[in-house]
Structure 1
Amino acid sequence: MGETDPHPHPDPDPDPTPANKKHQAMLDRLSNHQARRGSGCRLGSESAPAFESVSSFLSLFSSAKQSIESDLSRIRTLSSDPKPDIDRVSASVSDLERTLAENSYFLPSYELRSSLKSISDLKEGLETLTSDLVPKKKFSFRKNPNPRKNPSEGAILAKDSGVSEQIEVGMDKRSNFATGSVVVKDSPGFRNKKGAILVKNFKVSEEGMGEFTLTDLDSCEVYLKGRIRALFFNRITNCRIYCGPVLGSILIEEVSGCLFMLASHQIRIHGAKESDFYLRVRSRPIIEDSGGVRFAPYGFFYEGIEEELTDSGLGEETGSWANVDDFKWLRAVQSPNWCVIPQEERAGVVDASVLEEKGGADQ
């Protein structure tokens, strides 16, 4: 079953500059290469990979990066409103980041880290440019007359002279492991639960909702059945979490003493302690600032999951769960922060076929 790109390219500039034309052509080449990748292609396989070689991908990536940097410099010289140009460059950075994620499975660890650092630098440059050229909206510290149930959702707590106040911030939030900034996605999800059994069954009609968030859970059992596009975890303690296939990425932040069974194309873990991860994943799992984490193959089951895994491009076990990248361990020897779970200590297959939906997901 074909998948629709969840991040369509923006409409081209109606009056593009030569730099914009060059960059758009580069993005088209990246997209065309990605479209030809197909399912399960790897370097060295009989099928052609997304790019002819690692060097060809890095060459295209470098050209796109230089084009974006050129656009950032050009925008500073404009006498007109820079906002439309900044928006276009922002979209280009997002496209380049997505292309890197989709091809990360064949990049060597060093090249992947270097490319992620380049994306981080581009984002930082864009943020600086925006801060310098786009007028800031005025705001003031004030007490929120209608505080949220959980202040961490879409707000930052600031303490001044013992008084807690909330500063509302934008809700387009994601974890960015390249820069180390971590935020919680404002999407439907389970929040602020303790000692609960939580079950969510994603219907086919709900795939358009895109994302689901689990945050501030303690000593819970969570079962997510069906397919979804992205998952976000934040501040999860002593929980057991079992998930069906995720079409895009899973981002995990600040978890401790947990067991996860997850299937996704990309999984990134930040700030995990003493937790076990049973994974079905297309690219290498990424950990950062984590310790005592262990990995094993996926073992979640419910009626229909095999078909869902296949339709999501996750039908085959690739063994990537055991090929973990630790971004804070740069030595050639094995990172001490993670290991494979010994066979005798692994959990068995977990069958959630008979579980009914419960728990009341927050909207």
Structure 2
Amino acid sequence: MDPPVVVEGSLPDRINKRDRERKNVIEKRREERQQLAVESEQSSYFKETFYSSCSKVKDMLNTVSSAPISTLPSIFDKVNKEILTLKNYLHQSKMFLKVYDIRKAQENLQMLESDALELETKLLPKKKFGFKNRRVVKKPSDNTHDVTDGLKDLKISEGIVNGSGNQNKKLSSKHGDSACMLLGKVDERLVLDAENVNKNDVLLSDLTRCTVRIYGAPSTLHMVNLKQCTILVGPISSSVFAHDCSDCTFAFACQQLRLHSSSNCTIYLHVTSRAIIEDCTKIRVAPYNWSYEDQLSHFNLAGLDPKINNWNCVDDFNWLSSEKSSPNWSVLEPESRLKSWD
């Protein structure tokens, strides 16, 4: 005798169908609970590890004031490496962290960076900046009017300022007495040479439609309120901090870049960590391609590896989605990149 045929829509079939659906729902909920548990466990582990490491960095910074001055360079080097490691750890963990947790972690990193830079500037002052009497021989050019650091020239004393001057106390207290400063220039072509720049901090502030060439290996570069400027810089041993810049073109090599409140800028970049932007729009990046004589020796002096360049790795603090790219920055198309800087 043939077995009974189950007719679609019959009572047994509907019961079996509901039972399968019920089991599928139970299984789906179980998987969701497991996923939530995993994410919660990952988040808890991240917080414990991240903030524990932050505390260790703070402890190192708290001890530097009493440490022998001979040990300070190695301590600050270790601090900077720990901060960079924390940045990478945060970036890799964003996929399972809440937006609030990401923001709090970023704020902690910003405070650590600021404290470390302030202490390093205070406890390891650079050599005093001064003008040299020797004349720098430059190739003649019919269409340039460079003001070259190193020459006895009235324009130098007006535009390039030692941070210890009385009229610049506010700036020197913020950027250090040794900072070399170019301030308040309009429609000028300015050059700083390696002898005065190497291992010194450089500040460019309130420049409009200026072209600045900086040869050598500065310690840090600060740029504030630049408009329609072209800034070309050799390898920088630590960081570039830029605020309130618009319609500018930059070319520099550095360990890290922090760009704030800026718009419509093109950056030809060599960076060994990851660039960070915040409150920025219309930022374009391309590989660093400015070159000059002795540049390789300046890379060595700055401690930068010419072969390690993360120019297209940009973290936007205003764009926390890991699924879509930030609309605030883009890669400059090769056909649009400058080929010559002359």
TM-score, normalising length: structure 1: 0.54
Partner of 1:289: 279
Partner of 2:265: 275
1:98 to 76, 80, 87: 80
Say if 1:58 and 1:171 are closer, same or farther in 2 by CA, change over 3 A.
farther
Partner of 2:229: 239
Partner of 1:326: 316
Say if 1:62 and 1:70 are closer, same or farther in 2 by CA, change over 3 A.
same
1:196 and 2:188 aligned: yes
Between the aligned partners of 2:232 and 2:46, the Cα distance in structure 1 is: 35
Aligned residue-pair number = 237
Secondary structure of 2:261 counterpart: strand
**Could you report, residue by residue, the CA deviation over 1:17-71 in whole angstroms, capped at 9, with x for unpaired residues?**
xxxxxxxxxxxxxxxxxxxxxxxxxxxxxxxxxxxxxx99987753354468899
Query: 1:348 offset after TM fit, Å?
Result: 0.9
Say if 1:312 and 1:104 are closer, same or farther in 2 by CA, change over 3 A.
farther
Larger deviation: 285-294 or 100-109? 100-109
Partner of 1:261: 251
- Conserved? CA contact 1:306–1:315, under 8 Å: no
Partner of 1:47: none
1:342 to 330, 333, 341: 333
Identity %: 27
**Could you report, residue by residue, the CA deviation over 1:58-93 in whole angstroms, capped at 9, with x for unpaired residues?**
87753354468899xxxxxxxxxxxx999679x9x9
- Conserved? CA contact 2:50–2:86, under 8 Å: no
Secondary structure of 1:306 counterpart: helix
- Conserved? CA contact 1:185–1:213, under 8 Å: no
Give runs of aligned pairs for residues 1-363 of structure 1, distance below 5 A. 62-66=51-55, 98-103=80-85, 106-109=88-91, 115-119=105-109, 171-173=172-174, 187-203=179-195, 207-208=198-199, 210-332=200-322, 333-350=324-341
Partner of 2:142: none
Say if 1:122 and 1:202 are closer, same or farther in 2 by CA, change over 3 A.
closer
**Aligned letter for 1:109?**
H
Query: 1:227 offset after TM fit, Å?
Result: 1.0
Runs of 5+ unmatched residues, structure 1: 1-54, 72-83, 126-148, 155-165, 175-183, 352-363
- Conserved? CA contact 2:217–2:301, under 8 Å: no
Between the aligned partners of 1:173 and 1:57, the Cα distance in structure 2 is: 34
Between the aligned partners of 2:46 and 2:298, the Cα distance in structure 1 is: 31
Secondary structure of 1:107 counterpart: helix
Instruction: Report the structure number with the largest CA radius of gyration.
Output: 2
Between the aligned partners of 2:59 and 2:202, the Cα distance in structure 1 is: 37
More helix by proportion, 1 or 2?
2
Between the aligned partners of 2:297 and 2:58, the Cα distance in structure 1 is: 44
- Conserved? CA contact 2:198–2:216, under 8 Å: no
Between the aligned partners of 2:78 and 2:109, the Cα distance in structure 1 is: 8
**Could you report, residue by residue, the CA deviation over 1:113-151 in whole angstroms, capped at 9, with x for unpaired residues?**
6544224567999xxxxxxxxxxxxxxxxxxxxxxx99x
Secondary structure of 2:183 counterpart: strand
Between the aligned partners of 1:98 and 1:305, the Cα distance in structure 2 is: 24
Secondary structure of 2:280 counterpart: coil
TM-score, normalising length: structure 2: 0.57
Between the aligned partners of 1:266 and 1:229, the Cα distance in structure 2 is: 12
Secondary structure of 2:298 counterpart: helix
**Aligned letter for 1:334?**
S
Say if 1:335 and 1:86 are closer, same or farther in 2 by CA, change over 3 A.
same
Between the aligned partners of 1:288 and 1:260, the Cα distance in structure 2 is: 17
Task: Compare relative contact order (CA 8 Å, sep 6+) and give the higher one, 1 or 2.
Answer: 1
**Aligned letter for 2:253?**
A
- Conserved? CA contact 1:234–1:252, under 8 Å: yes
Say if 1:337 and 1:195 are closer, same or farther in 2 by CA, change over 3 A.
same
Between the aligned partners of 2:112 and 2:300, the Cα distance in structure 1 is: 35
Query: 1:347 offset after TM fit, Å?
Result: 0.7
Say if 1:287 and 1:88 are closer, same or farther in 2 by CA, change over 3 A.
farther
- Conserved? CA contact 2:83–2:112, under 8 Å: no
- Conserved? CA contact 1:258–1:274, under 8 Å: yes
**Aligned letter for 1:62?**
Y
**Aligned letter for 1:341?**
L
